Amino acid sequence: MKKVFVLSIVLSVLFISCSSDSHSQKVPNESASAITSPPTSMVGINTHTEVYGTGADPNIITLGPKVGGHPDWEPYSNKTSMEFELKHETPVLAPIDMVLVGFKNASAEYRVRLNGQKDTPYNDLLLYFESASPDWPGMIIGSYHLLSSPLLLGHNQNPNCGEVEEWGSMMQVQGHMFSYDKDKVINPTGDALSCDALIGYMVKRGELIGFAGSVGIHSMAAFQFKVSHTSENSTVQEGNRYLHWVQPGSFFYWKCYSPDANFSGGILAYPFECGGYQLPAEQHDRNFKYYNK
């Protein structure tokens, strides 16, 4: 066990230091995307667009198509993600091999908006990863509005790492964080260490990373992607200027995960079970953790 956690710390340092550097990495020509070329075969590709929710704000997209997601749903200003419209507690899967580099836990029993609207519950667990795939070098993957995650050993286990009563009264943050115009590494705040995050842990494509949460009656798992490119992103005020927000639904090509599926050429796995694939039964428990200490 000690060797595993030492390795996690080493990987964390390597990945966080690499993604903190402002250096450009080209999108490989072989990686299928809206700025390269489609996959050589479209069999099984993009077969579940019905679960696409609101896309990212076109004004912050600096690489690839400006629009994506559900065509009739308007994004809020500076929105970086697209929701996958999933039922509450649906297992959320890794779309690619990737390493956990940061998290924020801001989950609450409720949130009161400026207009007085009250959302109950307000699941707001966010995870950030860096790609470990040569198909997408340097790419950042974020997933939020999660209910829980097996990558945070203390979440909903340690009384200091769960949800507060009202959103905004406290949040726990650790590692590499990304907002619409900046990124930076943050030392643990708000008793974040009680969440016991497996920073530096690698998840493989198709493995469990969390469970879909809810904002009021709206259940989902939101995903955001920042792709490394040789061009500079003029919207970045702090951090890596060669990372670009993209529209998840229109920039990438997606297919259902299975152990035998071919994901060569940068194809991403849908972050939910489909095509007949099922996780092991124990990983359908929202309190499942990768390690029991």
Closest among 131, 249, 256 to 206, alpha carbons compared: 256
What pLDDT, on the 0 to 100 scale, is given for residue 2?
38
- In this structure, the strands spanning 140-148 and 164-166 are unpaired
- Say which CATH topology domain 2-284 has: Glucose Permease (Domain IIA) (2.70.70)
What are 225-240's pLDDT values in tens digits? 999 999 999 999 999 9
Percent of the chain with pLDDT strictly greater than 70: 92
Q: What is the pLDDT of residue 291?
A: 81
Tokens standing for residue 151: 């990558």
Quick count: other Cβ atoms within 10 Å of Cβ 56? 29
pLDDT value, residue 1:
40
Q: Is the pLDDT of residue 17 over 60?
A: no
- Residue 83 bridge partners (DSSP): 222
Whether the pLDDT of residue 4 is over 50: the answer is no
User: Where are the domains positioned within the chain?
Assistant: 2-284
pLDDT bucket at 22, cuts 50 / 70 / 90: low
Give the whole-angstrom CA distance, residue 3 versus residue 10. 11
Give pLDDT tens digits for 68-126.
999 999 999 999 999 999 999 999 999 999 999 999 999 999 999 999 999 999 999 99
What pLDDT digit, counting tens, does each position of 117-172 carry? 999 999 999 999 999 999 999 999 999 999 999 999 999 999 999 999 999 998 99
Residue 54 and residue 83: Cα distance in Å, rounded? Answer: 6
